Amino acid sequence: MPTETIDSLCQRARHALSQGKIEQARQHYLQALGLKSDSPDVHYGLATVCFLMNDLESAAYHFKEVTRMDPLRPGAHINLGAVFNRLEQYDEAITALRRGIQLDPSRAEGYYNLGLVYRNTGQPHLAVQAYVEATRVNPRMVDAHYNLANLYLDMGRHNLAVTHYKKVLELRPNWDKALEGLAQAQDALAGPPEEPPKAAAPAAGKQAAPDPNRLVDPYVHGSLLTTLHQATIESENTGRVFLHLLEHEIETAIKDLSASLLGTIGAGSLNQSVQRFEGAIKKLRAAQRELQNHIDRVHTSAKSCSSPESGLEGGCSGGAAL
């Protein structure tokens, strides 16, 4: 029998998995791991198999290995977040999912899983925002529309609940759960309207507190939150650059300059040390300006949006919101 290779073992594992032979697939992946323990593809396959076997601890371990060896693979971070959610390790789940979304904002499953985490942690408004973005990225994602409809129903936002239940039924006709939810939402709309409570007028010179129940839907003025989401990602990246400059280039330049002034390094190095220090300071100022630009973008978006129907201080017509 010819000697097995990693590729042949992985191929056999995938074939076994396609036939529902999960344990056999796991054995093939373990053999491949024995041949090359630092293969992110093998760890990814093994993590998937462990997840299907409900061995969540092992799945988390192998997905973490993938993110360690191949940190730019968005699917590994998103799947790791999904596993952490199942393990009720919610902080870790949010961190992993946000990283996956940052690496690839076009993956609807990242937002969908983030919505699951927020709902599990009792943060329905954040869950709505995540599901909204999932349906924007993938308008045919049935589960995202269904979960969003359920949240809107729970919140008493029956018009929006009806919209999303109908979308679910377009994609999955005659689904009993969606039909039941739609009937509940329509019954609630048909009932006598409740008189909204009158809000107390704010004291002179004081701004009224924001209403936490005001939300954004993909079909209503969502571009502000899209801008906020993108600015958050860009600010996080710039912040990392800023921190790297402080911890490495600035600190190193200061040490070199100090050593030069004290004469502890070769003669004639003072000018070079000064130049390195000035170069590091220029980079730091550039990063600071970039970070300020992201903040200004958020302020500009907020000021330019004036529609009270958006559910925020202002609203813009356009894209969906996270």
Residue 102's pLDDT is what? 96
Between residues 272 and 299, the one the model is more confident about: 272
**Residue 48: which of 1, 16, 70 has the closest Cα?**
16
Between residues 258 and 284, the one the model is more confident about: 284
Q: The tokens of 259 are what?
A: 């050593």
Residue type present at position 213: N
**Residue 217: which of 141, 137, 106, 321 has the closest Cα?**
321
* Burial of residue 84 (number of CB atoms within 10 Å: 0-12, 13-18, 19+): buried
pLDDT tier at 309 (50, 70, 90 boundaries)?
very low
C-alpha distance from residue 209 to each of 145, 196, 319 (Å): 30, 17, 26
Between residues 312 and 243, the one the model is more confident about: 243
- d(CA 108, CA 105) in angstroms, rounded, equals 8
The percent of residues in the chain predicted with pLDDT above 90, rounded, is 57
Q: What is the largest CA-CA distance in the chain?
A: 88
- d(CA 44, CA 30) in angstroms, rounded, equals 12
Chain-centroid distance, C-alpha 196: 35
Model confidence pLDDT, tens digit, residues 159-215: 999 999 999 999 999 999 999 999 999 999 987 655 555 555 555 544 444 444 444
Residue 315's pLDDT is what? 34
Residue 4's pLDDT is what? 83
Under a CB-based contact definition with an 8 Å cutoff, are residues 158 and 149 in contact?
Answer: no
Determine the angle formed by the axes of helices 270-304 and 223-244, rounding to 10 degrees.
170
3 state DSSP class of 133: helix
Residue 47's pLDDT is what? 95
- d(CA 22, CA 25) in angstroms, rounded, equals 5
- d(CA 141, CA 181) in angstroms, rounded, equals 17
Q: The tokens of 123 are what?
A: 């943060």
- d(CA 310, CA 305) in angstroms, rounded, equals 9
Residue 271's pLDDT is what? 73
Under a CB-based contact definition with an 8 Å cutoff, are residues 225 and 322 in contact?
Answer: yes
The percent of residues in the chain predicted with pLDDT above 70, rounded, is 68
Instruction: Please give the mean pLDDT across all residues of the chain.
Output: 80
Q: What is the DSSP letter of 312?
A: S
pTM higher than the cut 0.85 = no
pLDDT tier at 37 (50, 70, 90 boundaries)?
very high
Between residues 46 and 266, the one the model is more confident about: 46
Residue 178's pLDDT is what? 96
Model confidence pLDDT, tens digit, residues 107-164: 999 999 999 999 999 999 999 999 999 999 999 999 999 999 999 999 999 999 999 9
- d(CA 87, CA 294) in angstroms, rounded, equals 35
